[in-house]
Structure 1
């Protein structure tokens, strides 16, 4: 079981800039919890995501001496990937590839073919630099733009990623449109069809729907889940203001009910929870 904590996703849409020292202290607390991976920042245009303009400074302040947690940085293009790849502390580069052409253009200012070409180049870059590319299939469960969506379209994108050699693919519920009825069939079909790929679930949810979504993915064989403490953040394009990231505490509770060990230091977990409140206060 792999739990990926995503403070980057929780922070990126906040209007008020979180001071670098505050970000760094929070991330250092998260590094003590024992998550598999910390999605800590992004190397993207500061005009696009001003909240994360200090990612390089934050990275310099992280204490990686007593943690098993690996670092993941989000990139939006090859230039960002080249910058991130220069940092030996980073294990994973994450790229949002959308099955929605409209969202791809909004998110990375590219067409889908251009984005796929970037994926190929990023994968090669990661291979040369001892890193692993994580592709987030955004709008993986539907989208609000009217673009075509079907399980077959998601499967075709996955086939193309497999052909490029991509080893980690996270199906992403960018605006909270997923349900158990869409989650279960996709994971049930893809996981056995592509055993060389590690599939993850990056689910956004309202407070009342998280359990059915997690259960559907877990029961279909998914063993990699993204979350954010407190369920903070989420896509600003979501129509429902209650739609946020999957709350990590809910993931942990669900796994405990299943008798699945997480290996987390729960004292450190609760300390990070307390720290998260002032970080996100007023947002």
Structure 2
């Protein structure tokens, strides 16, 4: 008999992870309309933007304006790569921050020019200070399954890195199949171990759909006890530092699958499709995810 949760929390990452690699600059007002549409659809947890150098990620240059212009609904994350980003995010009024590190040294060096150990050494005092200030901290674990430069990542290496974050008091671990190479057996195996090892920490699964296995991997993670998933409306996204990584799994496809299995998400699919319509004309490529295509054809 299947063991599935009755309710799942969707963390919408489209405004940040979905748009960060978009070559066509999206106006702040268009981003805010997209975010508002997602909120109207019932999304209560969302990754809004990132406080990174505009030199490296020009799309995120308006991070302060995004935080200021977004209606405060539920929990809203911003991504912060370093102390400067953290300080800027706090000054802008953000009260839920995400930090990130790759399990793979090669990926981490390509991403932020530091080894994994160097990143962790830098992050430890920053996280401790944030916890003292009562800030919600999520740790995003990249290349948890595979690395584009090193290949397969050992589960014990991922768990060891997660344990450091848990020991420092982070509230949530977002564990990512960054290049979309994981299979359902690997998904079940790793997330079962993570749920057993860290029962008091929020565990979130983050899948990319490079090889069209994201939904299968989510189904496997559900059976391992995971009830939180990062998804991106329209399947937007892809990591600029991970060759071959295509978009995140589409929010609308995940919500449809969950609803068909009588798992509640609190998200209205029709309103979600309308939110995607708000951003579609502002991105380079047409959005053709399964459920959204059906919606457009029906309309």
TM-score (norm 1): 0.91
Q: List structure 1 segments (4+ residues) > 4 angstroms apart after TM superposition.
A: 237-241
Question: 3-state DSSP class of the match of 1:134?
Answer: strand
Cα pair 1:96 1:137 within 8 Å, conserved: yes
1:75 aligned onto 2:80 = yes
Q: Provide the residue aligned with 2:43 in structure 1.
A: 35
Work out the CA distance in 2 between the residues paired with 1:196 and 1:167: 9
User: 1:62-101 to 2 correspondence within 5 Å?
Assistant: 62-64=70-72, 68-88=73-93, 90-101=94-105
Q: Distance in 2 between matches of 1:118 and 1:132?
A: 18
Residue of structure 2 in register with 1:5 after alignment? 12
Distance 2:135 2:42 in 1: 20
Matched with 1:264 is: 267
**In structure 1, what is the Cα distance between the partners aligned to 2:132 and 2:54?**
27
Call closer, same or farther: CA 1:63–1:198 in 2, change over 3 Å.
closer
Q: Which of these residues, 217, 223, 228, is aligned with residue 224 of structure 1?
A: 228
Of residues 195, 201, 225, the one that matches 2:199 is: 195
Structure-2 residue corresponding to 1:253:
256
Alignment partners' CA distance in 2, 1:49 and 1:198: 28
**Mapped contact 1:100–1:148 kept (Cα < 8 A):** no
Q: Superposition pairs for residues 154-165 of structure 1, below 5 Å?
A: 154-165=158-169
**Deviating more after overlay: 223-232 vs 202-211:** 202-211
Identify which of 133, 136, 139 aligns with 2:140: 136
Question: How far 1:237 moved relative to its partner?
Answer: 4.7
2:186 partner SS: helix
Question: Scaled by the length of structure 2, what TM-score is found?
Answer: 0.87
CA distance in 1, matches of 2:142, 2:244: 18
CA contact (8 A) 1:135 1:170 kept: yes
CA distance in 1, matches of 2:19, 2:172: 23
Structure possessing the higher relative contact order (Cα contacts under 8 Å, 6 or more residues apart)? 2
Distance 1:99 1:208 in 2: 23
Q: How many matched pairs?
A: 278
- Superposed CA RMSD in Å reads 1.9
> Which residue in 2 is equivalent to 1:48?
56
SS of 2:147's equivalent?
coil
**Shift of residue 196, structure 1, vs aligned partner:** 1.5
Q: Distance in 2 between matches of 1:249 and 1:43?
A: 27
Q: Which residue is 1:102 aligned to?
A: 106
- Aligned-pair CA distance for 1:258: 2.0
* Kept in 2: contact 1:28–1:62 (CA 8 A): yes
Contact 1:85–1:126 (Cα < 8 Å) also in 2: no
Question: Take 1:112 and 1:61, find their aligned partners in 2: how far apart are those partners?
Answer: 34
- Cα 1:130–1:265 change in 2 (3 A) is farther
1:164: Cα distance to partner? 1.3
